[in-house]
Amino acid sequence: MQINPHLFILPRTPGQIVWDYRSHKQFELNLEYSIRLAQLIEHPEAFDNSNIIDTQFLNTGILTTSIQDTTEWGWDELSKIFHIGTKNIPCEYIPQNIHEWSRHYLDHCNEVLTSSAPDTDLAHRAAHAMIALPTPSGLPADSLGDALVSRKTCRSFTGEAVSLGDISTLLYLSLGYLKEREDDIDETVAEGLAARRSSPSGGGLNACEGFLLAQNVIGLEPGLYAYHPADHALSFVNPLTGSPLGQLVCGQHFINNLPAGLFLSARFDKLWWKYQHSRAYRMAYVEAGHISQTFQLVATALGLNTWLTGALTDDQVETLLGLEDSPEQPLFFVGCGQSDGQVMCKELKALLNQQGSQQ
Ligand SMILES: Cc1cc2nc3c(=O)[nH]c(=O)nc-3n(C[C@H](O)[C@H](O)[C@H](O)COP(=O)(O)O)c2cc1C
């Protein structure tokens, strides 16, 4: 007898939840069952066929007679629980043809639409006056091919200011709701979900949002600003803290004089509204990745260099963005500015040279 290797246990007064994350089953155990499970965890061979709790554990799959954990994971338990726990999500019925799929999808959408969508704009965003951005410029013709080839991650920025015009173009083309697409909306799209960005968006929800970090932008007070994609405008959120940007990105201080950047966040409440399964969490990062790449390509096409990170000092970033205890959470950061094009900062290069000369 063995304990199912795909369990985790969640204490929740007055009992404990035993979660079989591979088969997506949860069991609530009272004290008696919890104690018995603890005994069997210590001594699985103490399984007793005549003990009703033991047989229930076996019948529900909490105990098993077969060795099941053949997964070569190569990573930590938490990532394994999340990945496997969001795999093969339970689906009551898999549509067998296009007619069944259409009916199934329509039913799902109708069910979702019986509850209203989470507010499009969170309250704190409206608290400050809107700051209109200049009309975005286009990009040079044929710039995509060049940008794809030239984009590279730089870690040495000059600190030179960027223009508000470039920031406007960057924000519009990576996060803005495109005016050019307004006449090209399919009539089947549900009300409130018609806005389109240059990047695809899970469920058309546009769950990702962006906060501009302005350290040196001509015509903009240094600070954090929420971007309003429907209005192509900013609103002030917080001044800079005075501590270097590197503090916010887990000590990567080579980035301290980056003139501008974008914190990408995700509205988990919006995703949950349509997709009530943790698997949708994966999609939040995929969507942020699309937007980040678009930002980098636009910046490159504008003659700027780029840097990016997912290593956020989360608590500090959340405070700065006003997102503490919010269903919207920061996921990623991408920035741009003038650079000497170096992949590494000179301080690390000096250490590497020193190391090299000592060998
Ligand atoms: C998801 C993701 C996270 C990254 N995080 C960091 C980071 O924390 N710090 C950093 O300096 N570069 C980061 N990078 C940049 C990579 O190191 C870089 O893309 C890689 O070295 C390849 O270089 P290239 O971007 O010039 O092609 C990240 C890239 C991605 C896609």
- Atom nearest to 250 CA in ligand 1: 8
Identify the band that residue 187 occupies on the pLDDT scale cut at 50, 70 and 90: confident
* Interatomic CA distance for residues 112 and 116, integer angstroms: 8
- pLDDT at residue number 125: 66
- CB-based pocket (< 6 A), ligand 1: 152-153, 155, 252, 308-311
Q: The domain 123-346: what is its CATH number?
A: 3.40.109.10
CA of 155 to the centre of ligand 1 (A): 10
Residue labelled with tokens 């970033």: 317
The per-residue pLDDT for range 273-301, each reduced to its tens digit, is: 989 889 999 999 999 999 999 999 999 99
Classify burial at 166, counting beta carbons within 10 Å of its beta carbon; exposed 0-12, middle 13-18, buried 19 or more. buried
Atom of ligand 1 nearest to the CA of 289: 1
Q: Is 145 exposed, middle or buried (0-12, 13-18, 19+ CB in 10 A)?
A: exposed
Which pTM was predicted? 0.93
Domain with CATH 3.40.109.10 in the chain: 123-346
pLDDT, tens only, 59-86 = 999 999 987 667 789 999 999 999 999 9
**Higher-confidence residue: 236 or 185?**
236
> Does the structure show a pLDDT above 70 at 124?
no
What pLDDT, on the 0 to 100 scale, is given for residue 213?
98
Q: What mean pLDDT do residues 96-115 have? A: 88
CA neighbours closer than 13 Å in the CB half-sphere of residue 349: 8
Of the residues 153, 264, 293, which should be mutated to test ligand 1's pocket, given the most ligand atoms within 8 Å of the CB?
153
Rounded to the nearest angstrom, the distance between the alpha carbon of 308 and the centre of ligand 1 is 6
